[in-house]
Structure 1
Amino acid sequence: MLTVLMLVTGVAALLLAAWCGWAAYRDQPTKDWHFIGMAVVLVAALVQLVTGIVLLARGEKPEQGTTIFVAYLLGAFACVPAAGLMSLSERTRWGSVTVAAAGVVLAVLEVRLYDIWGG
C-alpha cells in the first residue's frame, strides 16, 4: 500500500511541476487552479504521512531506520505547502517556478522514501 501511495504522490507531484513549469514558461504567476492542484498533491502527501505513521505504530520497520523515514515523510508533507506560501509572496513567473521546483523535489523525496522503506 505504501508503494502505491508513493507512486501516486510522485506522479501527481511531477504533473504539478509540469503544469507550473508551463505557466512559468508562459510568464504567468500561480493562479487559483494551481493552488487546487497543490491541494490535491498535499492530500496525497497527507494520506501517505498518516499511512506511514500507522504502519510504524503497527510495528513495521523501515529498512534504513525509523527516524530518517519519519523525517522524509514530514519533509514530503511540508514541501508543497511551503512552496505555495512562497509563490503567494512572489506573484510573478518565479512563483510558478518555485512550485514547479517543489514538485520535482517532492518526486525525488518519494523515490528516497521508497528506498528507505526497503523497496
Structure 2
Amino acid sequence: MLDALTLVTGVAALLLAAWCGFAAYRDEATKDWHFIGMAVVTLLALVQLVVGIVQLARGEDPEQGTTIFVAYLLGAAACIPAAGFMSLAERTKWGSLTVAAGAVVLAVLEVRLYDIWGG
C-alpha cells in the first residue's frame, strides 16, 4: 500500500473534521464549500481503493488478510459520501457535526488500513 497516499488521506480527513467541527461550533449547516472538501477527501479515498485493488491484482498480499483489507477499503471509500448525504437531511449544525464525525472515522480507518497492510 502506498504509505504517502494513506497519510495524505488521513490528514485531509482530519482537516475536514476540524473544518466541519468548527462550522458546527458556529451553529452552521454544511455549505457548498464543505461539499467541495468532502469531494476532495472522497476522491483521495477512491484513489486509495483503486491502488489497493491494483496491488492485490498484482499478487501483493496484506499482512492481516485480503478480505478484511478490501472491507476496510470499501468502508473508507463510502464513509464521507454517507456522512455528506446524512448532512443533507439535517440542515443544522448537526449536519456539520455528522460530517466531522464521519471524517474522524475515515482517519481511524486509514490508520487501520496501514496496520492491516503490514505497516
Q: Same fold (TM over 0.5)?
A: yes
Tell me the equivalent position of 2:114.
114
* Shift in Å, 1:76: 0.2
**What percentage of aligned pairs have identical amino acids?**
83
Tell me the equivalent position of 2:102.
102
Give a deviation string over 1:50-102, Cα, whole Å, max 9, x none.
00000000000000000000000000000000000000000000000000000
1:80 aligns with 2:80: yes
Tell me the equivalent position of 1:89.
89
* Aligned Cα root-mean-square deviation (Å): 0.6
Distance 2:51 2:107 in 1: 18
1:14 aligns with 2:14: yes
Tell me the equivalent position of 2:44.
44
Structure 2 runs not aligned, ≥5 long: none
Structure 1 runs not aligned, ≥5 long: none
Q: Secondary structure at the match of 1:62?
A: coil
Distance 1:79 1:115 in 2: 19
Q: Secondary structure at the match of 1:64?
A: coil
Distance 1:2 1:79 in 2: 20
4+ aligned runs moved over 2 Å, structure 1? none
| Amino acid corresponding to residue 97 of structure 1 in structure 2 | L
